[in-house]
Amino acid sequence: MDQIGTRFYKLSFLLPGFLVLLAIILFPLLFTIRVSLSGWDAITPGLGWVGIKNYLNVFGDTRFWQSMLRLSGMAVGSVLIQYVLGFALALLVWRDIKYKRFFRVLFLIPMMTTPVIMTVIWRTILHESLGPANDLLGVVGLGPYQWLTSPAWSIAAIMMVEVWQWTPFMFLLLLAGLISLPREPFLAAAIDGAGPIRTFFNVTFPLLAPVSIGAIIIRLIEASKLIETVYVLTSGGPGTATETAGYYVYIKGLRDFDIGYAAALSITYLVIMMILLTLIAKLLVKFMLGDKPQ
């Protein structure tokens, strides 16, 4: 095919989506950058110029940096758990198993519940006076646990809710990946006499690496926005033990209505996340694809 024809097709595939997204997102993004250089708050709305003052304050805001650190731990931790569990579950219901279809759908359900409502339900479950968690664990002689009132348990509780809600995300992506795998490599492995474990590491895992990387990155992005779960379960407490960056920005932005400062926090957050995610993506590619360029 000639150059111009290729060029035409090339652009007409990409451009519609690209331009639509750009059109919708460009103004909000530029506007946020501009707001971050303003003193917009509850009393004086508008774009009054304050220069980089907000950014200087962000720099010295230990509460923000601590919440970033906490967030990284919680996000990375819960995403890894989700990935391992999701992969395991996908393998479990991939091939012949009784009631396969039932389990496949059942495993998807948590992701489909509305987070704002479901976290409230989790709060009732973990309620230390009125909830069933400690009650039922007590029956088998465990607990009572301070689900929402001790720092370590509240972090665990929040991560548990995240794992419950989002493991299906990994599960679905990996299951779809498994289902669309070609058969030849497996046949070849079988002919080689490879056992299930060797087949997994030599065939299944490498073949699913691209999907895995994609899934992990997108989950990291989403998990980092952890706000709703924190707000409902502990609102950052006890003390500041579960305060994440997203939640801190929420408090600054929409509770305190310190819009200018919240914008500066967000832009800082955005830049850090872009850098971190790029690095993580590179590392994952290196680790999972064994240095092959993608």
Pick one of 16, 48, 51, 73: the residue that binds another protein (CB under 8 A): 16
Binding to another protein, residues 190-209 (CB under 8 A): none
Binding to another protein, residues 224-283 (CB under 8 A): 224-225, 227-228, 231, 234-241, 246, 249-251, 253-259, 262-263, 266, 269-270, 273-274, 277-278, 281
106 binds another protein per the rule CB under 8 A: yes
Residue placing its CB nearer to another protein in the complex, 125 or 156: 125
Closest contact distance (angstroms) between CB of 51 and another protein is: 14
289 binds another protein per the rule CB under 8 A: no
Q: Which stretch binds another protein (CB under 8 A): 72-80, 119-127, 185-193, 197-205?
A: 119-127
132 preceded by a cis bond (ω within 30 of 0) = no
286 binds another protein per the rule CB under 8 A: no
131 binds another protein per the rule CB under 8 A: yes
Pick one of 2, 140, 183, 195: the residue that binds another protein (CB under 8 A): 183
Closest contact distance (angstroms) between CB of 264 and another protein is: 9
214 binds another protein per the rule CB under 8 A: yes
37 binds another protein per the rule CB under 8 A: no
Q: Identity (one letter) of the amino acid at 70?
A: R
Binding to another protein, residues 57-86 (CB under 8 A): 63, 85
